[in-house]
Amino acid sequence: MIYLQLFLSFLQIGMFSFGGGYAAMPFIQDQVVNLHHWLSLSEFTDLITISQMTPGPIAVNSATFVGLKIAGFLGAVVATLGCILPSCFIVSILAYIYRKYHKLTMLQTILASLRPAVVAMIASAGVSILVSCFWPKGFSFSLSDIHLSSIFIFIIAFVLLHYKKINPILVMVFSGFLEVIFYYGAKLFL
Amino acid sequence: MKEKKEVLWKLFISNLYLSAFTFGGGYVIVSLMKKKFVDELHWIEEQEMLDLIAIAQSSPGAIAVNGAIVVGYKLAGIVGVFISILATILPPFVFLSVISFFYTAFSQNMIIQLLLKGMQAGVGAVICSVVFDMGKGIIHSRNVSSILIMIISFCITYFLNINVIFVVITCILIGILRVLYSFKGGKKI
């Protein structure tokens, strides 16, 4: 029963991958490549590349990709369901508890200790993205390794977002086009 | 009744739109959700958004999906959860199905690579803007322990690459210690 296998396998991925995104990757690899041989290692690498280039969480993307390849459209649906089902239950229960009790002083004190860490973790993800974007070949102090157009785009995007309050998705799409314009502009004029 | 329908519709469209344009993982979508639901629609307060994000990231599974669930639940209960999930997984499902068919052409296209590279800088700017707003709130609170927690958590997650779940658990423990301390009649720290 391939559908059941897909479902159970992605159920485990959904249940045990904490921390999202890249934390889930080794776990997905273990299930999909090592255990069930649904993908070869190079196909798995392709999947990661595709995931980076398309929107959506890596776990959901792999569920769709693996499901489609192994058992067609229905397989993709079953695998995706499996990977989001644990979230549905656990997160809904936590959200319910939060709504019911968040006014308690006790829980407020605990949440007050957690909030700064949440900001820090978002900041950390942001810095990682920016470092890999500004130094595509890895961090160094040499000026020639810095991707200048990215820094320029970053500054423009930040000003548009933070001071002009422009819609973030528009800003992101605009940033993409700026890079295209810079690249071909530089080719034309330099 | 009409109002509820409107909330659900708006929730669906917002999540669909956020999910379709969110490249680069959970924290990006969480930052965008903050901009959408806190700054633009004013449906959720900033403090509460931080709590919801904490729930989303300390639960197993994809942060984007978890974020959609907490926001959906907060705004429209269980129905909201289903609407949000559907809106969040639909775009990647469609994109991936289409792209897996002509992956090679897609991944080697120069323009697509440039677009993605530029969008990465844009994504960084979105996250920075959100962190600036939220960090400002924490620093202005002038609560030394909050500021310390923020700085230390950043160092631990960024430089040591420790899984966020441990940071979350440690902060909850610190919170419990603060509660116990206040029960013993101490001052609030």
pLDDT digits (tens, 9 = 90+) for A10-22: 998 888 777 666 6
Residue A123 lies in a domain: no
Question: Do the Cβ atoms of A87 and B65 come within 8 Å?
Answer: yes
Over range B172-183, report the average pLDDT: 87
Residue A135 lies in a domain: no
Residue of A nearest to B62 (CA): A20
pLDDT of A21 reads 61
Judged on CB neighbours under 10 Å (0-12, 13-18, 19+), A78 is buried
Q: In total, how many domains does chain A have?
A: 2
pLDDT of A23 reads 64
pLDDT of B57 reads 81
Question: Do the Cβ atoms of A58 and B27 come within 8 Å?
Answer: no
pLDDT at residue B140 is higher than 70? yes
Q: For chain B, what percentages of helix, strand and coil (3-state, to nearest 5) are there?
A: 85, 0, 15
* Whole-number Å distance between alpha carbons of A122 and B27: 6
Q: Which of B133, B156, B176 corresponds to the end of one domain?
A: B133
B127 with B168, same domain: the answer is no
B184 with B94, same domain: the answer is no
A74 with A151, same domain: the answer is no
The beta-carbon neighbor of A50 closest among B56, B66, B100 is B100
- Residue A81 near chain B (CB below 8 Å): no
B72 with B46, same domain: the answer is yes
B179 with B158, same domain: the answer is yes
pLDDT at residue B14 is higher than 80? yes
| Residue B167 tokens, joined | 């940071």
pLDDT of B134 reads 87
Contact B103, A95 (CB under 8 A): no
Q: Which of A78, A93, A108 corresponds to the end of one domain?
A: A93
A12 with A84, same domain: the answer is yes
Across all residues in chain A, what is the average pLDDT? 86
pLDDT tens digits, one per residue of A86-100: 999 999 999 999 988
Instruction: Band the pLDDT of A102: cuts 50, 70, 90.
Output: confident
| Domain interval for residue A17 | 2-93
Best of A91, A137, A156, A169 to substitute, by most chain B Cβ atoms within 10 angstroms, is A91
Report the gap between the CA of B1 and the closest CA in chain A (Å): 22
Instruction: Band the pLDDT of B185: cuts 50, 70, 90.
Output: low
Residue A179 lies in a domain: yes
| Chain A residues 159-178 with CB within 8 Å of chain B | 160-162, 165, 168-169, 171-178
User: Cα angle at A9 between A8 and A11, to 5 degrees?
Assistant: 60
Residue of B nearest to A28 (CA): B61
* Whole-number Å distance between alpha carbons of A6 and A66: 9
Report the gap between the CA of B2 and the closest CA in chain A (Å): 24
* Whole-number Å distance between alpha carbons of A116 and B175: 12
pLDDT at residue B189 is higher than 60? no
Residue A126 lies in a domain: no
Over range A62-85, report the average pLDDT: 92
| Chain A residues 50-69 with CB within 8 Å of chain B | 50, 52-61, 64-65, 68-69
What percent of chain A has pLDDT above 70? 97
Residue A73 lies in a domain: yes
Question: Do the Cβ atoms of A158 and B125 come within 8 Å?
Answer: yes
Residue of A nearest to B110 (CA): A180
B44 with B102, same domain: the answer is yes
| Domain interval for residue B172 | 141-189
Over range B93-103, report the average pLDDT: 82
B22 with B43, same domain: the answer is yes
CB pairs under 8 A between A and B: 363
Residue of B nearest to A59 (CA): B62
Question: Do the Cβ atoms of B55 and A129 come within 8 Å?
Answer: no
Over range A47-52, report the average pLDDT: 76
Q: Would the CA dihedral through A96, A100, A103, A104 be positive or negative?
A: negative
B19 with B94, same domain: the answer is yes
B88 with B110, same domain: the answer is yes
Over range B148-162, report the average pLDDT: 89
Question: Do the Cβ atoms of B154 and A124 come within 8 Å?
Answer: yes
Over range B147-163, report the average pLDDT: 89
Q: Which of B133, B164, B180 corresponds to the end of one domain?
A: B133
Buried (b) or exposed (e) across B86-119, using 16+ Cβ within 10 A? ebbbbbbbebbeebbeebeebeeeeeebbbbbbb
Q: In total, how many domains does chain B have?
A: 2
pLDDT tens digits, one per residue of B46-62: 989 999 998 888 888 88
B94 with B178, same domain: the answer is no
Question: Do the Cβ atoms of B120 and A129 come within 8 Å?
Answer: yes
Over range B125-132, report the average pLDDT: 89
- CA distance readout (Å), B60 to A18, A86, B93, B152: 4, 7, 20, 23
pLDDT tens digits, one per residue of A105-115: 888 888 888 88
CB atoms within 10 A of CB A100: 10
pLDDT of A138 reads 78
B128 with B145, same domain: the answer is no
Residue A185 lies in a domain: yes
Radius of gyration of chain A (CA): 21
pLDDT of B70 reads 94
B78 with B149, same domain: the answer is no
Range with the poorest average pLDDT among A46-50, B65-69, B140-144: A46-50
B78 with B171, same domain: the answer is no
A8 with A76, same domain: the answer is yes
pLDDT at residue B186 is higher than 60? no
pLDDT of A20 reads 62
